[in-house]
Structure 1
Amino acid sequence: MAGAFTAVDLSQLPFPDAVDALDFETILTAMLADLRARDPLFSALVESDPAFKIMEVCAYRELLLRQRVNEAVKAVTLAYAEQADLEQIAARYDVQRLQLVAENPATTPATPAVYEDDDSLRRRVQLSFEGFSTAGPEGAYVFHALGADADVLDVAVASPAPGVVSVAVLSRQGNGTPSPALLAAVDATLSAQDVRPLTDNVDVVPGNIIDYSVTASLVLFDGPDATVVIDAARAAMQAYASASHRLGRDITLSGVYAALHQPGVQRVVLAAPAANIVTAWNQAAYCNGITLSAGGTDA
């Protein structure tokens, strides 16, 4: 059976209380009230008064300062830190951003290196505490497998029998089918003495890929150019497909409709897929094509 390990969904966490709500008019009103309280001569201040303009400048500068403080607060939280700030947090847990593609200085101009995105790094930082355990929890296997090679996109773990651990691997390349070399790299990492309990028999297997395509006709409102609307729908559908290209992640009709129903779309006539694509723990759905057409307009 598959494990029940789930990490906290950081995207659902609210902003910290330290993050201040920003409103220019509120700040300006408070400043004007303070000025009038300090000097009654300013009790009849109007917008054309130079002092009022000075207060507007001060209020705007304070707004910028508060925004910077908000950004600084977010930068030290795992849920909201980005780029170098996130890397600093990751370093506390001995986790580094993985390099996906090496720099190529031979090209003109030189091709910069490509690294894993913030969401992937954030997930591995979340799982790092699981990696401290050598008792064989599901989260530990996921953490170590994700860090075994930069080409590992996703990992799922199940225990079909006592003492047997099955680890499914999804690759970043192509449709997600891992190469033998990638499976070997994950197997070597999980077989280390400080990772795998002596009583566990670990079997690293490729994730099973379910190919599907999306075909739809979009009935549009009379207005924006059809190409613009269709391109936006295609981009949103691709984003949904990419985000859902994970082990055990279903492709739902509601998700497809939501992606295609962009501004300017009156109705979506979906031809494929015909039903929800339900995946097992070791399966991942891969979208191999998106075909969209304009189905007329509805004024």
Structure 2
Amino acid sequence: MSMLIPGQNQLAEPEMVKVEQFEALLAEFKAFVVEYVAARSPENAAKLEVSLQNESELLTMALEAFTVRLQTHERKYNARIKQMLAWWANGSNLDARLADMGLERQIITPGDPAAFPPVLPVMESDDDARLRYYLAPHAPAAGSRMQYRREVLTLGERPRVSVETTVAGIVTVTYTFNPDGFAAQVKDGNGRRTAPGQVTVTVLSREGDGTPSAALLGAVRSHFDRPDVKPETDQVLVQAAQIVNYKIRAIAYINPGPDSALTETVAAAQLQAYAKACHRLEGRVDRTWIDYTLHAAGAIQLEVLEPLAPIVTTAAQAPFCTAVEIEVRTL
């Protein structure tokens, strides 16, 4: 059975948020108006039908304006409907969906409210929180890839469970949560069977180029030492992700004009966002996406200097962009 995972799969919008085409909606309104008038005055309805075929008639323009207004109204409410669906929800709307699973958005950096000016906390991104939302209700088979990934990404979110029976007929179940918050430092992780009975867990950090600290690796090892996390037959080895460094360098050619600085700023920002999205285990950096981004930013012609070939990483590796250098020239 396959599973939809945000960031890896695309999901089409549901039919309930589709907006009817302008021409079809306008034709429906015209037919309704003519039918409504015909029930009261067939003679006037015939005249009205002819009048509505004329684009310059005030009533025709009024119906067109009403159609546009209705489409805008539908888009506004459709946007609200999508915020009720975890796949598209963001901000506080996504926080509400996380609460359905007993989860809350992780605090990456606590901030300092006593500072002047106050330093706001850095919170987990919508994409990362959404991924944990979709992993939360699943109970993958013990020892499966999905189970290991869930354990790494929810590190510290799951309580330590102990069961005791000190009195006949009474069973006490205690849930103890990890207060250290190491899960917020994990950007990506997985588990792969590297030998019979041996699983290697790879950890990618949010800090710097993704290399996890010794403290974070120690927390991951402690987590997998628990008796309720992995099969007893698995020997778990924890390792840091191998970072594959690369640069994005390109020359973008645009038509003469005053917008070269704007093109450079937009292109650099979009490429930084693309590089950030690729900073995952088994991440892939493709030249076609770089081409697309530069053209979307306004480039007419372009010359990509780095990377010259796609960067493909393994389950133990993650690509990291050390610099984005865009030079804009006019044709």
TM-score under structure 1 length normalisation: 0.85
Please tell me whether Structure 1 or Structure 2 has the larger radius of gyration of its CA atoms: 2
- The match for 2:148 is 141
Match of 1:102 in 2: 110
Q: Which residue in 2 is equivalent to 1:30?
A: 28
Deviation for aligned residue 1:145:
0.9
Q: Equivalents in 2 of 1:39, 1:225: separation in Å? A: 55
Tell me how far 1:62 sits from its aligned partner. 4.1
Partner of 2:228: 194
Identity of aligned residues (%): 30
**CA offset at residue 155 of structure 1?**
0.9
Q: Is the 8 A contact 1:22 1:66 kept in 2?
A: no
Alignment of 1:127-206 (within 5 A): 127-130=135-138, 132-133=139-140, 135-148=142-155, 149-206=183-240
Correspondence 1:265 to 2:299: yes
1:151-181 deviation digits (Å, cap 9, x = unpaired):
1111122110122111111111111100011
Where does residue 12 of structure 2 map in the other structure? 14
Q: Distance in 2 between the 1:72 and 1:137 partners?
A: 37
Q: 1:220 aligns with which of 254, 260, 264?
A: 254
Instruction: Look up the equivalent residue of 2:32 and give its one-letter code.
Output: D
8 Å CA contact 1:22–1:67 kept in 2: the answer is no
Q: How far has the Cα of 1:189 moved from its partner?
A: 2.5
Pick closer, same or farther for the CA change 1:38–1:25 going to 2, 3 Å.
Answer: same
Relative to structure 1, the CA distance from residue 297 to residue 103 in structure 2 (aligned partners, 3 Å threshold; closer, same or farther) is closer
Alpha carbons 1:154, 1:247 under 8 Å: kept: yes
Q: Aligned pair in 2 of structure 1 residues 190, 217: CA closer, same or farther (>3 Å)?
A: same
3-state SS of the aligned residue for 1:196?
Answer: coil
Report the CA distance between 1:268 and its aligned residue: 2.0
Among candidates 98, 101, 118, match of residue 90 of structure 1 = 98
Tell me which moved more, 80-89 or 231-240.
Answer: 80-89
Amino acid at match of 1:8: L
Matched, 1:79 2:87: yes
Amino acid at match of 2:230: R
How far the C-alpha of 1:77 sits from its partner, in A, is 2.4
Could you tell me how far apart the structure 2 residues matched to 1:206 and 1:223 are? Answer: 48
- Given the superposition, is the C-alpha separation of residues 12 and 108 from structure 1 closer, same or farther in structure 2, using an over 3 Å criterion? same
Tell me, which stretches of 5 or more residues in structure 1 are unaligned?
none
Whether the aligned pair in 1 keeps the contact of 2:189 and 2:204 (CA below 8 Å) is yes
CA distance in 2, matches of 1:65, 1:273: 45
Q: Which runs of 5+ in 2 are unaligned?
A: 39-43, 156-182
Out of 82-91 and 37-46, give the one that drifted further: 37-46
**Size of the alignment, in residue pairs?**
290
Q: Cα 1:64–1:269, aligned 2, differ >3 Å: closer, same or farther?
A: closer
State the AA in 2 paired with 1:212: Y
- Cα distance in 1 for residues equivalent to 2:116 and 2:68: 44
Counterpart-to-counterpart distance in 2, 1:167 and 1:284: 14
Q: What is the CA distance between 1:73 and its match in structure 2?
A: 3.2
**8 A Cα contact 1:169 1:206, kept in partner:** yes
The question of whether the paired residues in 2 share the 8 Å contact of 1:219 and 1:265 is answered with: yes
74-83 or 153-162, larger mean C-alpha shift: 74-83
Indicate yes or no: 2:244 matched with 1:210: yes
Q: CA deviation at 1:99?
A: 1.3
Shift of 1:37: 1.5
Q: Which amino acid aligns with 1:140?
A: Q
**CA distance in 2: counterparts of 1:68 and 1:232, whole angstroms:** 28
Partner of 1:48: 58
| Residue 288 of structure 1, CA deviation | 0.8
Amino acid at match of 1:71: A
Cα-to-partner distance string for 1:258-295 (whole Å, 9 max, x where unaligned)? 3333443222223222333231211111111122223x
CA contact (8 A) 2:189 2:281 kept: yes
Structure 2 length-normalised TM: 0.77
